[in-house]
């Protein structure tokens, strides 16, 4: 019994660490794949083989595929709320998030958190600081890095029309 407990106490953290590192490796592979895909599409746009609209459609299809969805679908509530804030097209915002390494399957969750950031930035003005609960949501639940969170803060400030 004592040995079993010791084994569990020693092995369990190692299993958790292995799972976390394998998910991070998967994210880096997805990042490389996204970067290559984006470069290919941008080259096609520059050559005139694709229009910007066609490229946006391909990006949407790619994001859907990477998040495990068959069809391209945007959350109408998120779209409407961002339109009220002056962001008419979320495609570029989502593409930039993928550029920063945010996984495709988390984009809608990140956008929901960003809405809160933008509203807080507008309310607080130049004294804006991220609410610790939102920071915990980004770090613990979505497992974003500090670099990614700083990027989201900068974008939120930009959408809120604050200078920084």
Nearest to 19 by CA among 11, 30, 8: 11
For residue range 9-35, list pLDDT tens digits in order. 555 554 445 444 444 434 444 678 888
Question: What is the rounded average pLDDT of the residues 46-53?
Answer: 88
Q: What is the pTM of this model?
A: 0.68
Each domain of the chain, given as residue ranges in start order, spans 2-159
For residue range 104-138, list pLDDT tens digits in order. 888 889 999 999 999 999 988 888 888 899 999 99
> What is d(CA 109, CA 139) in angstroms, rounded to the nearest whole number?
12
């Amino acid at each position: 019994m004592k040995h079993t407990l010791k084994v569990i106490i020693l092995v369990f953290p190692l299993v958790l660490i292995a799972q976390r590192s394998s998910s991070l490796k998967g994210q880096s592979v997805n990042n490389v794949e996204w970067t290559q895909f984006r470069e290919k599409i941008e080259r096609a746009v520059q050559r005139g083989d694709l229009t910007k609209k066609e490229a946006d459609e391909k990006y949407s299809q790619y994001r859907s595929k990477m998040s495990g969805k068959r069809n391209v679908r945007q959350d109408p509530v998120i779209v409407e709320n961002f339109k009220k804030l002056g962001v008419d097209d979320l495609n570029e915002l989502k593409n930039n998030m993928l550029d920063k390494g945010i996984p495709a399957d988390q984009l809608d969750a990140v956008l929901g958190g960003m809405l809160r950031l933008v509203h807080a930035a507008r309310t607080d003005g130049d004294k804006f600081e991220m609410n610790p609960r939102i920071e915990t949501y980004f770090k613990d639940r979505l497992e974003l890095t500090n670099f990614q969170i700083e990027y989201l803060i900068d974008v939120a400030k930009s959408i809120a029309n604050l200078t920084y």
